[in-house]
Structure 1
Amino acid sequence: MGRGQKRGRTQRKHFKENRENLWKYSNDGDNRAGDVASQSNSHNPSWEPFNTENQAFEEYYKEQGIVSEEEWSKFISFLRKPLPAAFRINSSGQFYKDIQSQLENDFSKSLEADLGHEYETEPIRPLAWYPGNLAWHSNFSRMQLRKNQTLERFHEFLKLENEIGNITRQEAVSMVPPLFLDILPDHHVLDMCAAPGSKTFQLLEMMHQSSNVGLLPNGLVIANDVDVQRCNLLIHQTRRMCSANLIVTNHEAQHFPSCRLNTEIENGRLTSSSPSCLTEEAVTNQLLFDRVLCDVPCSGDGTLRKAPDIWRKWNSGMGNGLHRLQVQIAMRGLALLKVGGRMVYSTCSMNPVENEAVIAEILRRCGSTAELVDVSGELPQLIRRQGLKNWKVRDRGLWLHSYEDVPPARKGVILQSMFSPAQSSEDLGSSSSDVPVDTILAADTVEEENGTSRSQTVSSDNPGSEYDFLVDGAILTDSIKAKVEMDECPPLERCIRIVPHDQNNGAFFIAVLRKLAPLQDASGNNPHQKKKSDNCMFEVSEEKTRAAKDQYESEKAGKASGVQILTETSDGSFQNNHPWAPDDDPQKTNNVGSKPLHLEGEKESGNVAKSRLQIQGKWRGVDPVVLFEDEDVIKTIRTFYGIDTSFPLEGHLVTRNTDSSRVKRIYYISKSVHNVVKLNFKVGQALKITSLGLKIFERQTSKETYASSSCAFRISSEGLPLLLPYIRKQILHASLADFENLLKYRNIKFSEFIDVYFGQKASNLAFGCCVVVLNKGDQTMEDAPVDASTVAIGCWKGKTNLSAMVSPVDSQELLARLSFKHKGSAPVEEKAETGSEENVEEVPEDVEGNGESGDGDQVKEPEEQHDCAGMFQ
């Protein structure tokens, strides 16, 4: 990303390439999987397989010594083969043990019998290094799974379970970084570059794994990505997890906002509620994280086996161009990390300029405030290699051994931090600058949209400086070196390198860092505590309140969309509490039962100005986050379903629409997410939230079908598992036969149920949504508590029939699970004659689920994505 380019371009420009990036096969014996593909293309003379040769690639990595000369042939031969498929079982899913059993006892044996003679090892096997046999490796590529008829049943199984969320198809090495984070249920976790979401899903699995039914962990995951479309993909992926502990944000990772309350403003007029209602970080007025996953954008050449088009595109400049951005993101991650917390830096690249060089630069900047953790004793069965200590930099065909070799004209591109510490230590010691470490990313960095003055400048004294920024009046230069020189090179051997031929996977780089103390500025002060000081590198021209004042003046002048700063009063309502607002300033309030956390309105001229002001969130194009506090609606929902008072609804419901009469969906958020949302409100809504929480209620929109129901909202399929232990009304308990019939036929008259008593109870329910629970054997659920093995679905009680409110895909998967779990049970009864269906009430499409992420936001069904943070993700 060169000088003058728009920030974030490096991360975004490669995502728009639509060229098909899948393996195609020539009819050679080296690729057994390619027979079908070769035959299908034999009649097409224009078809050509991917070229897996790149002389520059081989020359570069031979010189870097990624592997020994003796291993090179094996290393390069594996890179030219398709990547075997791998997947992970969702350990927090209800049927994860059944899926494990099916893999171990069904598919392993059947595939071994059918295909075992073609392979030296078993066709599918659990990954030995992944805890609990939850991750599986197959000897089949994606193309084989799609084209081989013998594998058709296994492929259909993978597709169905992946769509439901019981498994996640993910490259094996991509599963490694989250394991080194050591996630606990009460951790606050930040995934800085999260899309497409496989690692985020993995983080949520770990957080929810030990949670009991109906209870939520105390932690949360904030998943961020720079690209809006990829955020939609991230939302789609993580929605399968059905978690109330997730927030999805849309920011450049290197400028991820700080949720930090300014003490002076807090003691003034901007806030009025007690800090006790916020997170524990409110004591220091900032949201920090226990764990940070920093899976940065990279050149992605570790994914050559999955994305063979990289062979054509690869050049050494790809890694050089991303180095600065990777350092920025990593430093921002460390700034947001709690002291004692752990951050994992990872890439799917083999390039040391993107890997060891970044880690070495981070350690130089942080000094004694961070350390590289030795994790050689963790995941002992994972075959890994130590990080490199020496490497070279290549630019425009020239090998550069040290920064002194860089031509003056190229010093704006080739940075000193790219070189090996052993080679550049003399340069560090002889640096003419005595200014200490640049902590620009450790400071309270806020994006331009939030009003912070941030502009790129060029230092006349140092034309080789590549990253000078003006922040609050202080010029901070990226080329400034560490004040404390290192007597020894950093312990880069503690980094982890994974190469393809060790365990038949892709390539990956991982480094684990621990924060030992707050990042410090030149005077030794914590940069989060900005104070004017003659010796302080962070000389602030005005106090933090200047941004809020400028924001109000902009709003008053009708320029960029202003933000009303609202505070919560003792009665729970919000009022305008702007420190510079005149007494006669009109209040833009909303009294429709929903409480906006952050509103903006623009006055319009003419007759339009007389109409109600448009209410929307601060971030253009993103629906506002609104606390749903319509007491009448909440009371109706609680009464209709008999929801126990021990389950908190008040303060945990949010919507994305400020008009409660038009709210389509209500989302449930955990206490931890609620606290972050409140903190985000108090700091002026710094976080651009694109999705949060768990969809728990949906409005019944069909007037004819739902006119007789006393409750306007039905329970969503995603929210049912959380609510089930607390529901006392509108609940039925069905036998296995009747339950399976409901899934299979979807609409059944009361008189046609096999259990006559069940049909009578169904007819006596109130008109509207209800819940049907599967009995456990001969024991009805009235006699058994709800636990992890309880199976239930949402249904609609009509005038004459009961209808299942689950999607066809969910019905198919649940039928398959029940069939596997209850082998030997009585066969499913066939439905009555089709002629009896003429009076059955159809359930409208809107109760069978949809792909919407909010009140009106559509999420496209994603195609299969590459799970890495690189260009070809």
Structure 2
Amino acid sequence: MGFRKGGRHNKKKNQAAQPKIDRDTRGPSDKAYTDIPKKNENFENYYKSQNLLSEEEFDTFYSVLQTPLPSTFRITGTRSNALPIRELIEKVYVPSMQNVVVDDVKYEPPRPLEWYPDQLGWQVNAPRAILKRSAEFSKFHKFIVAENESGNLSRQEAVSMVPPLLMDVKPHQWVLDMCAAPGSKTAQIIEAVHANDRLNEMPLGLVVANDADYKRSHMLVHQSKRLQSPCFMATNHDAAHFPNIHVPTGEKGKVNTWQFDRVLCDVPCSGDGTLRKNEKIWKEWTQHSALSLHTTQVQIFLRGAQLLKLGGRIVYSTCSFNPIENEAVVAEVLRLTNGALELKDVSDQLPKLKRKPGIKTWKVMTREGQYINSVDEIEDGRQRFKFPKTVFPPTNPDEFPLERCLRIYPHQQDTGGFFVAVFEKVKPMTNLDRIRQAKNEQMESSEAEAAEAQDEQLVDSLNQAAEEPDQPAEASVPAKRASDVDQEAEKKLKTDDGTSAPQKVKKDVPGIKEAPFELMKTDNPDIDEIREFYGLDPEFPRDQFLLRSEDNAKNRSIYFISKAVKAVLEAHDFERLHTVNTGVRLFVRQGSQMEGGSPFRLTSEGLPMLENVISDRRCVDITVDELKTLLTEAFPKLEEFSEATRTKLQSMDLGCCIFHVDMSKAETQIPDFHMPLSMPVWRGKASLNVLLNKQDKRSLCQRLFGVTPANTPAHLIEKALNNQLRLEAEAAQKSEGSDSDAAAAASTPADQE
């Protein structure tokens, strides 16, 4: 079964004009930060007038905003070494930094975030300048960098971690992250879906991470690949027009229009909650940014509510203090959905997280700095027409429990600023909801398509109402359907200044070339060869293998997807979905010829999924000393290993195998480290090659043995290739076949680098 390529760049004007703030990335250097005046009179006066805080507390709030933001990180929750990583930090690094004094100032060691579950969130209090001047902090910084590269840690702003925690994601649920890049929150969601992983089991859940910017959508791929989930899909759409897809139910002719158990609307915003690290906001801040984004935020939120199942939970969040982007959006969506959404009281969740309630009234200011109570007070008719009419406080504030929203201020726990609101869908919002409820989520394809047409018209009417709220939603003229918008986006896009620009092709994204998605047929001979060579468990599915390759590289890489992703790929209207990436790469075909064995090698990212379903005949147990040899040397010779290991290797065909190590007897850098280790290894005629990328290899060496392996220089790889060519020439002269490990070295650059 073949599928179209991932969609082209589809940056819509409403999200191109104001890109989403990279809340999860690191801020400026300390030197740069101190050079920028951290004062903005307009900002100060505007927020004082909102009465968010008492006068005394506002001074504290404003003072903290003028200080650098501490660095924070998470220990990734789905990796099997999460607890050993935490143990290493607690027992090795923290004790070593108890008495660090620089220039007569004592700096506290890293500490866990008191509100983050299981002490997997951490904060580093020392400024970055100290990381260079203190040997203890410098060593810890190198550890963070190495573990972040290998995916064991995720550097992320503390308040950015809050929305995924409040989503309460379960492993069986379908989750949509509507504006996901750069992807740290998506990573948290993936971890939650895999939280209850058990032997040979795969979650029923699905994680769809979307972003309107094509380049930024590939940041999602980079983040997610560190977690290697077969339940993950990255897409590229304007969130306000995210398409409906009709997913087969397994019964002939039956489909469900996909809806999600959990939705995250972390929308594009003005980002003034990030002032502590995005210092340019001090110079650029105006109230106009919030006004220009309000309607877009309402539209995205409405679309997310439509895609939410009855009984599902949707979380709306921004990194802004501005009520125009926060409570005003919440109040308008509650009004438009007419009781379908219930704003939840989550004061009992994350009890150690300090927060303040949402506000019920606020002041609205025009671009010119005039406070107004309604658009009628704007004298300029053109400006009055353009001004968003839904930014004002509700006239009946008691009907909207806005105090249930969360406001997180920097001075409360030394963080950035954030706004979060949690909702449950308690009533049908659309015609589609009603049909799904009446039919118990079982409908014919024709019914689903008819419901979708009415559903899209309703959501477009609501979008229109967001811009013209004085007009009843039923009387609004429906805007373009999502499919029409997608087609127009193929022809043109808008630049950041709103002018038309030619459509950019994907070649402007370095290193990215989309390839078709194609499910492998169950009778594909490559599947039979792989199953036979590796002795795969007969229960391991053979109908969930995926190809992403052009015709001239057929079956080069073989991916694996979950049942949920497979169902989406099999949808008859899958072409509407601009899919950027999905699937976990399990096998890669070697580029060179070899005698015997299998040309398909295992990948390090696919090993966690395969190691328990591969036959023991392709597995080798080695000692800790042998592991050190394997990791620290390039292409170690077979004779460097024990007789038992050599005997096992010589009894198996050439090709890839799995090395297991019992770490309970190891004297490692981690106290009480007993976690077993496994890794893919290429078994050649005379030598071995561990198939780990350089980040994972370096991280493992540093963590276990306190050493850094020397990178394999390019000239050694070239030398290995030349040796291979020489051997092949000699073999041809002698009419004998020959193979060498250089082939593996030269044909697996992705794993060896």
Query: Which category describes the TM-score, using the shorter chain as reference length?
Result: 0.7 to 0.9
* Aligned match of 1:508: 418
Q: Could you tell me how far 1:251 is from its partner in structure 2?
A: 0.4
Q: In the aligned structure 2, how far is the partner of 1:308 from the partner of 1:540?
A: 43
**Pairs within 5 Å for 1:188-337:** 188-260=174-246, 275-276=249-250, 285-337=256-308
After the TM superposition, which residues 328-477 of structure 1 pair with which residues of structure 2 at under 5 Å, given as runs?
Answer: 328-395=299-366, 396-407=368-379, 408-421=381-394, 425=395
| 1:155 has 2:41 as partner | no
Contact kept? 2:205, 2:231, Cα under 8 Å? yes
The answer (yes or no) to whether the contact 2:515–2:548 under 8 Å persists in 1 is: yes
1:234 Cα deviation (Å)?
1.3
Q: Tell me how far 1:718 sits from its aligned partner.
A: 0.3
Matched, 1:807 2:697: no
SS at match of 1:342: strand
Matched, 1:743 2:715: no
For 2:750, the equivalent position in structure 1 comes to 849
CA distance in 2, matches of 1:376, 1:808: 44
Distance 2:587 2:694 in 1: 20
Q: Which letter maps to 2:393?
A: S
**Per-residue displacement from partner, 1:90-134 (whole Å, max 9, x unpaired)?**
111121111111111122111122249977884311111111111
- Partners of 1:487 and 1:300 in 2: how far apart? 26
Partner of 1:96: 82
* Contact 1:213 1:722 survives alignment (8 Å): no
Change in 2 beyond 3 A, CA 1:808/1:521 = closer
Q: Which residue is equivalent to 1:580? A: none
1:644 aligns with 2:532: no
Q: What is the CA distance between 1:401 and its match in structure 2?
A: 2.3
1:539–1:143: structure 2 CA closer, same or farther, 3 Å change rule?
A: same
Structure-2 separation of matches of 1:381 and 1:116: 32
Kindly provide the amino acid, as one letter, of the partner of residue 77 in structure 1.
S
Matched residue type, 2:423: L
Is residue 61 of structure 2 the alignment partner of residue 75 of structure 1? yes
Find the aligned partners of 1:209 and 1:115 in 2 and give their Cα distance: 40
* Distance of 1:327 and 1:694 partners within structure 2: 35
Are residue 796 (structure 1) and residue 682 (structure 2) matched?
Answer: yes
Instruction: Report the AA paired with residue 719 of structure 1.
Output: G
Deviations 1:387-434 (A, max 9, x none): 01111111111111233323332233322210011xxx2xxxxxxxxx
- Is residue 170 of structure 2 the alignment partner of residue 184 of structure 1? yes
- Match of residue 723, structure 1, among 593, 606, 610: 610
Cα distance in 1, alignment partners of residues 171 and 119 from structure 2: 21
Q: Which one of 730, 733, 736 corresponds to residue 621 of structure 2?
A: 733
CA distance in 2 between counterparts of 1:412 and 1:622 reads: 43
Given that residues 222 and 247 in structure 1 are in contact (C-alpha distance below 8 angstroms), is that contact kept between their aligned partners in structure 2? yes
More helix by share: 2
Is 1:671 paired with 2:563?
yes
Q: 2:547 aligns with which of 650, 655, 677?
A: 655
1:497 aligns with 2:407: yes
**For each residue in 1:832-853, what CA deviation from the matched residue of structure 2 results, as whole angstroms up to 9, or x when unmatched?**
xx9xx9999444254252699x
Aligned match of 1:477: none
**What code does the residue aligned with 1:415 have?**
P
How far does the alpha carbon of each residue in 1:338-373 deviate from its partner, in whole angstroms, 9 at most, with x for none? 000000000001110000000000000011111101
Deviation at 1:517, TM superposition (A): 1.6
Shift of 1:651: 1.7
Amino acid at match of 2:204: N
Question: What CA distance in whole angstroms lies between the structure 2 residues aligned with 1:656 and 1:522?
Answer: 34
Report the counterpart of residue 818 of structure 1 in structure 2. 704
The AA in structure 2 aligned to 1:488 is D
Question: For the Cα contact (< 8 Å) 2:20–2:269, is it kept in 1?
Answer: no
Instruction: Please give the secondary structure, in 1, of the residue aligned with 2:256.
Output: coil
**Greater Cα offset, 220-229 or 108-117:** 108-117
- Give the secondary structure class of the aligned counterpart of 1:343: strand
The one-letter amino acid of 2:546's match is V
Q: Deviations over 1:714-737 (max 9, x none)?
A: 111100111000111322111111
Distance verdict in 2 for CA 1:846–1:294, change over 3 Å: farther
Q: Structure 2 CA distance, aligned partners of 1:324 and 1:317?
A: 13
Q: Deviations over 1:269-298 (max 9, x none)?
A: xxxxx74269xxx96620000000110000
Give a deviation string over 1:519-541, Cα, whole Å, max 9, x none: 147999999465699x9949999
**Structure showing greater Rg:** 1
Q: Deviations over 1:181-225 (max 9, x none)?
A: 001000100000010010000111111121024322110100000
Q: Residues 633, 523 of structure 1: CA spacing in aligned structure 2 closer, same or farther, 3 A cutoff?
A: closer
Query: Do 1:750 and 1:760's aligned partners in 2 also have CA atoms closer than 8 Å?
Result: no
Q: Distance in 2 between matches of 1:62 and 1:16?
A: 26
Quick check: 1:748–1:803 contact (8 Å CA) kept in 2?
yes
Asked whether the equivalents of residues 498 and 507 of structure 1 are also in contact (C-alpha less than 8 Å), the reply is: yes
Task: Tell me the distance in 2 between the aligned counterparts of 1:388 and 1:301.
Answer: 18
Q: How has the CA–CA distance of structure 1 residues 277 and 136 changed in structure 2, closer, same or farther, with 3 Å as cutoff?
A: farther
Q: Unpaired segments of 5 or more residues in structure 2?
A: 1-9, 437-449, 458-471, 492-511, 667-673, 710-715, 725-739
The AA in structure 1 aligned to 2:400 is: P
Counterpart-to-counterpart distance in 1, 2:27 and 2:187 = 25
Structure 1 vs Structure 2 CA RMSD? 3.6
2-structure distance, mates of 1:12, 1:664: 36
Residue matched to 2:590: 700
Partner of 2:660: 773
Aligned equivalents of 1:116, 1:176: Cα separation in 2: 33
* CA separation of 1:360 and 1:125: change in aligned 2, threshold 3 A: same
Out of 681, 691, 695, the position equivalent to 2:581 is 691
Structure 1 CA distance for aligned equivalents of residues 747 and 130 of structure 2:
37
SS in 1 for 2:324: coil
Q: Secondary structure at the match of 2:657?
A: strand
Secondary structure in structure 2 of the residue aligned to 1:411: helix
The letter of the residue matching 1:497 is: R
CA contact (8 A) 1:190 1:293 kept: yes
One-letter amino acid matched to 1:96 = A
- 1:747 touches 1:801 (CA, 8 Å); kept in 2? yes
Letter in 2 for 1:369: A
Aligned to 1:428: none
Match for 1:104: what amino acid?
E
- d(CA) in 2 for partners of 1:540, 1:301: 35
720-729 or 327-336, larger mean C-alpha shift: 720-729
CA contact (8 A) 2:598 2:654 kept: no
Task: Report the 3-state secondary structure (helix = DSSP H, G, I; strand = E; otherwise coil) of the residue aligned with 2:230.
Answer: coil
Q: Distance in 1 between matches of 2:206 and 2:435?
A: 30
Deviations along 1:769-807, one digit per CA (max 9) or x if unpaired, are: 11111135579xxxxxxxx94311111111111221112
TM-score (norm 1): 0.69
With over 3 angstroms needed to count, the CA separation of the structure-2 counterparts of 1:120 and 1:847, relative to structure 1, is same
The letter of the residue matching 2:584 is L
